[in-house]
Structure 1
Amino acid sequence: MAHPLVTPRPGPEPEPLDPRTAPAPRYGTASLADLLPALTAPHAVPGVAATGLELPGADRNCVFLVDGMGWELLRAHPDEAPFLTSLLATSLGGSGEPLTAGFPATTATSLASVGTGLPSGAHGLAGYSVAVPGERRLMNQLRWQPYTDPHLWQPYPTVFELAQAAGIESCQVSSPTFEHTPLTRVALSGGTFLGRLTGEERMDLAAERLAAADRSLVYTYYSELDGMGHRYGVDSDAWRGQLMTVDRLAQRLAEQLPPRSALYITADHGMVDVAAEDRIDFDEDWELRAGVALLGGEARARHVYAVPGAAADVLAVWREVLGDRMWVAGRDEAIAAGWFGPYVDERVHGRIGDVVAVAATDDIAVTASHNEPGESSMVGLHGSLHPAEQLVPLLEVRT
């Protein structure tokens, strides 16, 4: 039976999607978690796990991460990003292929994967918001609310810390706003943090710091593209204008690279615009709410936490209602499918929803208008395993 808040599709009623068919991130060979381990591999940094991603060695490595610049979005806008477009063939060491962000494709998770070299099942930032095990509350891992001890929540060292200890001068060049945040502490700390307000200042300082030592590892970040996508959508002039700015910044940095350097330009996730008629409001939907204690994650990658004893019923209802446009899996199914990586730490297991519902198409979102008014008003969304959100570039410039 069609759900009253889902637009019926012509023809016979579709079968639910099998979560085992979802395209799991390519952990170990081509995910964001593999990037820093690949860059530090030629330097044999103690404590950094080996990865199957192979990149040419360089004495000086710089990562420029653009929040929200998905692979498909970049390829669709060559006029706005001529410099970045010219680098597409250099992706993944010349193969012309993208990386996968990891699951979920969201900022807190991806930044932790970049910084620690670990998938979300290990570092534990397994969603935009997740349940605190043993407590009936959600923790927002981007805003870090309510506060939780960062190093109990994410105990592993970052690659920056390990590289610094091995004699590689490491630093992060970003907005001053992020210097003392818990997310920075658990995901990107190590070496020196240098705050600069403008993108131009960050590019210039990143190049300067790259040249300051014989061996260096520099990370710099730009968030405004993502903000325009959330506010106005990726089909907006505001978003396209920001992409033009990103293109100029990337070229500015590339033109200042010192000798023996490699610059890698990547992103934490892509984004899709979801129309109002394709959004289902959990807070107004009695059927989806039945048996649910907490709704975590975000609109295209939901963690659903059931009241005790109701997990099987919640899974059945979510599959019936949403299963033709979302991969809907029980916790153990999602873990076995490799969505969170090849293994999940015991401390992370309870942070994953009893049910995990992930958008499989670009025309579905589960919002929560009362409990998440800000997030529900966003035009551009992300989080899922859909290629538009999951695939991110890895563009290379070498000197």
Structure 2
Amino acid sequence: MHPPAGLELPGTRRPLRGLLPDVARSLGAVLPDLPGAGLDLSAGERAVVVLVDGLGAEALTARAGHAPVLRGMLADAAAAGEPHASAGYPSTTAASLGSFGTGRSPGETGLLGYSLRCPDAAALGLPPADQLVNLVSWTAGPGAPVPDARTWQPLPTVFERFEGASTAIGKSKFAGSGLTTAALRGATFVPADRWDDAVEATLTALRRPGLVYLYWGALDAVGHQRGWAAPEWGEELAALDAGLRTLLRRAPRGTTVLVTADHGMVDVTERLDVAETPALREQVVLVAGEPRALHVHLEPGAEIGAAHERWAEALGERAWVLTGADAAAGGLFGPVADRNRALIGDLVVALTGTTAVVDSRSQSAASLRLVGMHGSLTTAELAVPALVTRT
């Protein structure tokens, strides 16, 4: 497959899904079936992975003046080689956390987007607006069953395969959630609802040997509402950096620290609404995914080739439009397990530039107004930091 100008295929950098296996191996884990990311890590007893939701490599480089600790780590990593990793497609939290936690592709985990069509939608006779399953909140529309996380994503996580102590730290609302279960099960979850408390919980967990995972999502939230170029984003980055300084200063000697992210972000300047665009609306029953990375589901009996032509003509250079079959066969989602093929849309659409395709028939008014978005194949969305230091 050859994406249009402005887009790139995942895999041009070290893979995000290989980072956690590399860290676990440095602590003695044996994971022969999982690809690594090529991190040069010394063997040790303790490691912490800090995953910052929405901290794209391009945005970090542009706003590094707010983050002296991260700026220093970025300079050190650049001098040593490749400072960045690449998320898979789609470049979104559910897909990336699933790949990060299991070492597998989105096509293997089934975490193929922010939202997906309920596999039983047709059999249940659900109206289109109720057919979406949200893989971040792990909720479903009225009348749709909320999927069991272990059934949806049955592959073992790195934490389940790690024989030492492992701890996952994040906000209390994520304790036992579907996404936490799908991507991170096996680690002991420790809730922390403030950034300073999360840092302290990490330091507490590091008192004993083992693997610690710290997730923080505040930067992503600000980016969605204000954009990564906004002053508020820089302020949140500065607060994050201050906590990292504390972590690095107080972590036990010899601790490996990796800072990474699940995706980057673009600030959207153009929105096209499927509901108000006849060429996009024709024969489309449901749009899943998100506005930068769409799964388009057509009416039963609709001609997929004709729909592909309509979408490609309507969007032009603003998007890469593929049939779902071609996207899967071409490896866009990585290897795709048979059980997950029906989750992929009849059309798969990756946006270029700063355009978004929304659908007011199924999206909330608040989501239609988001400034920062992600999911597609631009460098701004795919490239994430992979910054390693040792205390």
Residue deviations 1:95-145, cap 9 Å, x none? Answer: 143101111111111111111111101111001111233524221111112
With over 3 angstroms needed to count, the CA separation of the structure-2 counterparts of 1:47 and 1:96, relative to structure 1, is closer
With over 3 angstroms needed to count, the CA separation of the structure-2 counterparts of 1:72 and 1:82, relative to structure 1, is same
Letter in 2 for 1:344: V
Structure 1: runs of 5+ lacking an equivalent: 1-16
Separation in structure 2 between the aligned mates of residue 138 and residue 25 of structure 1, nearest angstrom: 26
Partner in structure 2 of residue 191 of structure 1: 187
Are the equivalent residues in 1 in contact too, given 2:265–2:373 (CA < 8 A)? yes
Partner in structure 1 of residue 128 of structure 2: none
Aligned pair partner of 1:219 in 207, 213, 218 = 213
Letter in 2 for 1:338: G
Residue deviations 1:179-203, cap 9 Å, x none? Answer: 0211111111213111112111111
With over 3 angstroms needed to count, the CA separation of the structure-2 counterparts of 1:182 and 1:59, relative to structure 1, is same
Count the aligned residue pairs.
373
Partner in structure 1 of residue 98 of structure 2: 112
Separation in structure 1 between the aligned mates of residue 80 and residue 24 of structure 2, nearest angstrom: 19
Separation in structure 1 between the aligned mates of residue 51 and residue 36 of structure 2, nearest angstrom: 21
Are the equivalent residues in 1 in contact too, given 2:34–2:104 (CA < 8 A)? no
Are the equivalent residues in 2 in contact too, given 1:24–1:337 (CA < 8 A)? no
Aligned pair partner of 1:383 in 375, 378, 390 = 375
Are the equivalent residues in 2 in contact too, given 1:315–1:355 (CA < 8 A)? yes
Partner in structure 1 of residue 357 of structure 2: 366
Within-5 A mapping of 1:172-251: 172-213=168-209, 216-251=210-245
SS across alignment from 1:87: helix
Separation in structure 2 between the aligned mates of residue 378 and residue 387 of structure 1, nearest angstrom: 20
With over 3 angstroms needed to count, the CA separation of the structure-2 counterparts of 1:31 and 1:84, relative to structure 1, is same
With over 3 angstroms needed to count, the CA separation of the structure-2 counterparts of 1:232 and 1:335, relative to structure 1, is same
Q: Is 2:311 aligned against 1:318?
A: yes
Separation in structure 2 between the aligned mates of residue 173 and residue 364 of structure 1, nearest angstrom: 34
Q: Show structure 1 runs of 4+ deviating over 4 A.
A: none
How far off its partner does 1:91 sit?
3.6
With over 3 angstroms needed to count, the CA separation of the structure-2 counterparts of 1:266 and 1:385, relative to structure 1, is same
Separation in structure 2 between the aligned mates of residue 69 and residue 42 of structure 1, nearest angstrom: 25
Partner in structure 1 of residue 143 of structure 2: none
How far off its partner does 1:18 sit?
5.3
Aligned pair partner of 1:74 in 49, 56, 60 = 60
How far off its partner does 1:289 sit?
0.8
Letter in 2 for 1:223: G
Q: Is 2:24 aligned against 1:33?
A: no
Separation in structure 2 between the aligned mates of residue 281 and residue 335 of structure 1, nearest angstrom: 26
Q: Is 2:327 aligned against 1:334?
A: yes
SS across alignment from 1:255: helix
Separation in structure 2 between the aligned mates of residue 374 and residue 93 of structure 1, nearest angstrom: 42
Q: Is 2:276 aligned against 1:284?
A: yes
Aligned pair partner of 1:51 in 19, 22, 35 = 35
Partner in structure 2 of residue 13 of structure 1: none
Residue deviations 1:279-333, cap 9 Å, x none? Answer: 1011211210111121001111011011123222211111111131211111122
Aligned pair partner of 1:299 in 260, 282, 291 = 291
Residue deviations 1:307-364, cap 9 Å, x none? Answer: 12322221111111113121111112212332211x1000111111111000122x21
Structure 2: runs of 5+ lacking an equivalent: 123-130, 141-145
Are the equivalent residues in 2 in contact too, given 1:20–1:337 (CA < 8 A)? no
Q: Is 2:253 aligned against 1:259?
A: yes
How far off its partner does 1:50 sit?
3.4
Separation in structure 2 between the aligned mates of residue 44 and residue 105 of structure 1, nearest angstrom: 30
Separation in structure 2 between the aligned mates of residue 90 and residue 330 of structure 1, nearest angstrom: 42
Separation in structure 2 between the aligned mates of residue 224 and residue 35 of structure 1, nearest angstrom: 22
How far off its partner does 1:64 sit?
0.5
Letter in 2 for 1:51: P
Separation in structure 2 between the aligned mates of residue 129 and residue 48 of structure 1, nearest angstrom: 32
Are the equivalent residues in 2 in contact too, given 1:71–1:391 (CA < 8 A)? yes
Letter in 2 for 1:70: G
Separation in structure 2 between the aligned mates of residue 369 and residue 40 of structure 1, nearest angstrom: 43
How far off its partner does 1:206 sit?
0.8
With over 3 angstroms needed to count, the CA separation of the structure-2 counterparts of 1:190 and 1:92, relative to structure 1, is farther
Counting aligned pairs with the same residue, the percent is 37
Over aligned residue pairs, what C-alpha RMSD do you find?
1.9
